[in-house]
Structure 1
Amino acid sequence: MSRAAGWPGGEFDAVFCRPNEVDRPVRWIRPEHPAPPRALVNDPVRRYVIATATGKLVPQVRRYAAEHLAEPERPSAYVVLPRLPLTPHGKVDRSALPEPATSRPPLPYPYEAPVTTVEHQVAEVFAELLGVNPVGLHDDFVQLGGDSLLAVRAAVRLGQRFAVEVPTRSVFTMPSVAQLAAWLTTEGAARPAVRQPATVVDDRAGDSTGAVPDRLPLTPSQILVWMHDLQRGLGVVPGPECTVAATYRVTGPVDVAALGEAVDALVRRHEALRTALYLQPDEGYQVIGPPPRSVLRTASATHADAAVVLDRLQTDHPLQPRSGRVFAADLVSTGEVRHLLSLRIHHMVCDDRSLHLIEQELTQLYREIRAGGRPRLDKAPSYRSAITQATNPQGQRPPDPADLVYWAGKVTGVQPLELVPRSHLSGTDLAHRTRVRTTLVPAPEAEPFLRAARDARVTLYTALYTILSSIMYADTRDADIKLFCADAARPTDELDRTVGLFLSPLLMCTRFVPGRGLAESLPAVGDELREALGHDSLPLLALCQQIPELLALYGQSQAVVFETLVPPAGLALADCSVQRSDPFDPDFAGRLCQIPTDLTIVGREEDGAIRLCGLYDEAFAPPSYVDSVLARMRELIVTCGNDERLPLDAAIQPDPWLAALRGWDG
């Protein structure tokens, strides 16, 4: 609905368009003598328009989204407004948009209250996770705003509440309260009980003897990252440059004292940001330290050398993971209203989702402190508790025998990934150093490809995985695609609000089928990936201990990693404009991160465009090869997005450098 500026009195036209009728909107014609423009409550026509939009349009839009959008891309809530709030400049004032209501949304069936105790408990779990109250007996989890991440949490909470093993997929196959309650009462009762985690002692309280344990073990995610480093003899993980970082070009009057106080408050909140890492080949552990003060470092510079001054700050004051300096904030000012801010966090205590959390909380802390108030954020979950639950066998669910059978079958007869011939690597004398290459597929070129992914009901992750698989097949002629992938889903609310490295690495094994186009490949690859993610009762390290073939495949494969990132949350500072950049952006002003990888390909959607990045070890491959991978991915995105029937393998050629190394003709 939009204000019809050409109508007297500033009335509204309500435009209800079907997908095939975009050029023929239906307009609600107002009475000849309308009421005053703001008299919505006394205007029956306006009330009718709002009621119609809420009662009829929203369910239709929800159904349309379910038919045409992949589940993670669908809106979780719909809000009908009589007008969009505008700034004095005529742009949408996003800060004035109302929060979605917590009441039950309009659904195509009436509310029916739960009856049995089990139904009431399932409804309570849905209500807590989705922020909707009340939840009816036949209300659908997805229609209430649920997504894949919330489904994981729902399965965990139901499992804990009923002491049974609840597969995540059951939340989608039995999405209503009635269906899940019936399953929990019958089949669910026969499943093995969930082992409850051991009681965790607060890090400040100590145990019954008054002693507080100092050393905490590394989590499985941390061990895997460190193992990659040790296997390749890189030595980057214990160093200061294995980071997750972002820089922010700020224009406006920054309250430096308030920003410094907000940074200190952030470090006090999150134990991971003050955790010392002890990493030796024969031993690894971590120790949570006391909150430091005056974490924000400041410097002045002319506009021309702000980046140079920032680089000098970061060189002179590197991260020191062994001493607990795993977080750094640096601010370089070039006058009263121009600033360059940098955040660096050691990768062993932070991942991309944690950086988003840091940005969100720093935004709120700065706003509240600058306004003279006390920070009102809820207490952050304990990092110590997260470590304990990740490393305590009593707190982990028992392995599903079907998962062991599945993964054993996936790796049987599969050869380790050898993208670059080992004979070539053994002769190189280049130093190990991570570099970055990047390219952008503009929105108009990316749109057909993204539309194809939506039509196939797959995520950007699946779509780009399909494209990269084609490149791997062309460059190796091996139809068994092996890629290390990272599942960033947080299984609990507590982890979602905790800074740390909580990725769940996977060694994904899929089969490339020559002759298939994008239209046929996307749903097939999507099914393969969903099936793999469904067999997740054991982390990769535990699977390797159970399946020797998987351990051999993991240990002998080159570290070629693929992941997609969600659009960044960004940092907002009151009365300032902020331009964010990170190592995947060409204009990133910070120091490049060093990570234990041979080649990592990253994809991220940016306002309809697709950013493709390659982080690579220059001792593994030259920049020309990484450019070739990104260029061919872009070519496939554009070409096959416009012709979904064109076979992927026919649309791409092997890289000439690798072809020459392998001795391929032509």
Structure 2
Amino acid sequence: EMPLTPDGKVDRKALPAPAATRPELAAAFTAPETEQEKILADIWAQLLGVENIGIHDNFFELGGDSILSIQVVARANQAGVRLTPRHIFQHPTIAGLTAVAGSGPVIQAEQGVVIGDVPLTPIQHWFFAQDQPQPHHWNQSLLLTLDTPLDAALLETAVTHLIAHHDALRLRFHREKNGWRQYNEAINPDETVFVHEALADTAALPEKTAALQASLDLSAGPLLRVGYFTLGDGRPAYLLGAAHHLVIDGVSWRILLEDLQLAYQQLQQGQPVSLPPKTSSFRQWAQRLAEYAQTEELRQELGWWTAVTHTAPLPRDYDAPSAENREGTAQNVTVSLTAAETTALLREAPEAYRTEINDLLLTALAQAFIHWTRQPGLRLHLEGHGREDLFADVDLSRTVGWFTALYPVELTLESVEKPGETIMAVKEQLRRIPNRGIGYGLLRYLCEDTVVRQKLAALPQPELSFNYLGQMGQGETEESPLAPAVESGGPERSPQARRAHLLEIDGGGMDGRLELTWTYSPHHHRRETIERLANEFITSLQTLIAHCQSPEAGGVTLSDVADFGWEQDDLDDILAVLEGM
């Protein structure tokens, strides 16, 4: 225990004198021995792509992130090791996790077919507030290639099982006089979800994928279509999954791909389809959010969100009206790190300042934008996966749906020149955000107090959005026949769709390399402007990675010692004393 003065500060005079000599400490590798340790080590190895995992290795220092933590929980629970995402953040080693595994209530999710009304969630309210001219065509999709063609009849049966098992895939949306209503339909065996077409060559693919992307209907359904396109003569086949974004997100696609492969293998082997047990339903989550939005506990966050008010617009090259910012004219600039730099970012850099990947990505982003805008800070919409541990009796680790949390963040930096100070400043600003931002949407859209909703609606909206999607394809089995296709899967959104931001940055790990796509409006920005900005971001990120690998890097911040309840000057005093030892 630290000795304190009467006013609660650290009493430096009462601290013990430092020992004359201090042996160097090194973290010893300890191999997993118990059954639970071996199960978790195997899961980590699959998802992180790392061999020889010790029980004291830190999940986040091996390249783990919040999205991968959900996959760890899902696979651990299937293997009988009961965990929650909160466990991984609080105890990020295998030794720590096995000590708490099984604590907390056993969550019994309803396993039957969910039918009936479902409250809209905040992100669904946000979508409908955009009042898109063609709301039916606003999708997320995956185009995959298969070297070995599959049996189309078995594939169609497997897809049918997915739609029966994952209730959100049967959601429907009806426009009524008071707004949109969400309803979970029963299983409809006559619905046409799967289409198989034989193509002469890949030149026919764009027309087919575009038609499938435009074929969804919010009210009549379906909201998922799967197209299987074969070329014959031993050439690769293509599998396109397109779902309306209202019923799917990046984590959901990972779940669906796992289940599609499992169902197909079971059918191929003549077995009945048996998918992993359901976790809590999307309907239960939506109902619990609607209740939580009325609580005094959540109301305490209002002051935080109304304080995020930095309003300077982004610089523009052209003064075009916002109506010209549409999907049909949007263009992309893509930048990336090398494989070696990505490995350093994921597995070496986090150790210096106990960071997560978003801390470093957003530090580099803030540096680049502060140089560009000449403003002292950066205001943006941050997208998180939104599957937060708000309720002890809800488990979303294998639930399909759109869970994204979209919330405003303001990052201010006193200096962009000192990498260590900059990283720690951004890290602490992100850690102070309550519940990873999920409360903003709850207060903005679900709170029944009109004054609260109006206060948040009146705030200026950021013109920049950032979304780190995790590591794509990570954790897929070696024998998986599916691989991402290089070809386009067709337009995911209507060309007339209004874009909510001037700049959108979406990033993720692809083939072992971090890749970020910057989407912009050519009516507002020149391509050279966005290329220069994106390249400055990459340069800043490379500098931060190199700094974190250097011997002088390292530092402790308040969130690292949150359990002690210290203030920053307490921590500074302690660190100064330790440095003098």
Is the structural similarity TM-score above 0.5?
yes
1:258 corresponding residue in structure 2 = 154
| CA shift for structure 1 position 245 | 0.6
Letter in 1 for 2:407: L
User: Which one of the candidate residues 201, 208, 211 is aligned to 1:303?
Assistant: 201
Map 1:16-31 onto structure 2 (within 5 A).
none
Partners of 1:222 and 1:154 lie apart in 2 by 33
Partners of 1:264 and 1:201 lie apart in 2 by 17
| CA shift for structure 1 position 440 | 2.2
CA contact (8 A) 1:248 1:340 kept: yes
| CA shift for structure 1 position 258 | 0.8
* SS of alignment partner, residue 343 of structure 1: strand
Residue 525 of structure 2 corresponds to residue 628 of structure 1:
no
Residue 441 of structure 2 corresponds to residue 540 of structure 1:
yes
CA, structure 1 residues 459+201, in 2 after alignment: closer, same or farther (shift >3 Å)?
closer
CA contact (8 A) 2:55 2:95 kept: no
CA contact (8 A) 1:482 1:510 kept: yes
Partners of 2:95 and 2:126 lie apart in 1 by 34
Letter in 1 for 2:510: E
2:489 corresponding residue in structure 1 = 589
Residue 326 of structure 2 corresponds to residue 426 of structure 1:
no
User: Which one of the candidate residues 509, 514, 529 is aligned to 1:605?
Assistant: 509
1:502 corresponding residue in structure 2 = 403
1:404-447 deviations in Å (ceiling 9; x for gaps): 34444x43xx3324114598133885755344432222123445
CA contact (8 A) 1:244 1:355 kept: no
| CA shift for structure 1 position 265 | 0.8
Map 1:333-482 onto structure 2 (within 5 A).
333-335=230-232, 337=234, 338-380=236-278, 381-391=280-290, 393=291, 398-400=296-298, 402-408=300-306, 410-411=307-308, 414-421=309-316, 424-426=319-321, 432-433=327-328, 434-450=330-346, 451-482=348-379
CA contact (8 A) 1:603 1:611 kept: yes
Partners of 1:142 and 1:538 lie apart in 2 by 25
Map 1:64-213 onto structure 2 (within 5 A).
65=58, 72=65, 128-129=82-83, 141-144=91-94
> How does the TM-score come out when normalised to structure 1?
0.61
Partners of 1:404 and 1:259 lie apart in 2 by 48
* SS of alignment partner, residue 332 of structure 1: strand
Flag structure 1 segments of 5+ consecutive residues without an equivalent.
1-17, 26-49, 77-97, 104-126, 162-198, 205-211, 646-666
CA, structure 1 residues 616+257, in 2 after alignment: closer, same or farther (shift >3 Å)?
same
2:472 corresponding residue in structure 1 = 568
* SS of alignment partner, residue 240 of structure 2: strand
Matched length = 478
Q: Which protein shows a greater Rg?
A: 1
1:496-550 deviations in Å (ceiling 9; x for gaps): 2221111122211221222433222222211110111448683334168538664
1:175-213 deviations in Å (ceiling 9; x for gaps): xxxxxxxxxxxxxxxxxxxxxxxx999876xxxxxxx85
User: Which one of the candidate residues 117, 122, 126 is aligned to 1:220?
Assistant: 122
Partners of 1:562 and 1:154 lie apart in 2 by 35
CA contact (8 A) 2:317 2:524 kept: no
| CA shift for structure 1 position 481 | 1.8
Letter in 2 for 1:641: I
Higher RCO, 1 or 2 (CA under 8 Å, sep at least 6)?
2
Partners of 1:570 and 1:324 lie apart in 2 by 31
Partners of 1:394 and 1:476 lie apart in 2 by 38
| CA shift for structure 1 position 352 | 0.9
1:299-328 deviations in Å (ceiling 9; x for gaps): 11123425235335426x611122122101
| CA shift for structure 1 position 275 | 1.7
| CA shift for structure 1 position 68 | 5.5
CA contact (8 A) 2:318 2:524 kept: no
1:245 corresponding residue in structure 2 = 141
Partners of 2:119 and 2:455 lie apart in 1 by 27
CA, structure 1 residues 526+356, in 2 after alignment: closer, same or farther (shift >3 Å)?
same
| CA shift for structure 1 position 474 | 2.1
| CA shift for structure 1 position 362 | 0.9
| CA shift for structure 1 position 218 | 1.6
CA contact (8 A) 1:507 1:540 kept: no
CA, structure 1 residues 611+470, in 2 after alignment: closer, same or farther (shift >3 Å)?
same
CA contact (8 A) 1:480 1:511 kept: yes
Partners of 1:352 and 1:635 lie apart in 2 by 28
Partners of 1:617 and 1:226 lie apart in 2 by 22
Partners of 1:59 and 1:431 lie apart in 2 by 48
Computed over aligned residues only, the root mean square deviation of the Cα atoms, in angstroms, reads: 4.6
Partners of 1:612 and 1:63 lie apart in 2 by 32
Partners of 1:322 and 1:75 lie apart in 2 by 33
1:366-415 deviations in Å (ceiling 9; x for gaps): 11111111111145343333332233x2687542565334444x43xx33
CA, structure 1 residues 562+427, in 2 after alignment: closer, same or farther (shift >3 Å)?
closer
CA, structure 1 residues 511+500, in 2 after alignment: closer, same or farther (shift >3 Å)?
same
2:171 corresponding residue in structure 1 = 275
* SS of alignment partner, residue 381 of structure 2: strand
Map 1:549-560 onto structure 2 (within 5 A).
550-553=456-459, 556-560=460-464
CA contact (8 A) 2:172 2:220 kept: yes
Partners of 2:292 and 2:111 lie apart in 1 by 15
CA, structure 1 residues 416+390, in 2 after alignment: closer, same or farther (shift >3 Å)?
same
CA, structure 1 residues 622+286, in 2 after alignment: closer, same or farther (shift >3 Å)?
farther
Letter in 2 for 1:522: I
2:10 corresponding residue in structure 1 = none
1:151-181 deviations in Å (ceiling 9; x for gaps): 9x999x57x99xxxxxxxxxxxxxxxxxxxx
CA, structure 1 residues 573+643, in 2 after alignment: closer, same or farther (shift >3 Å)?
closer
Letter in 2 for 1:320: D
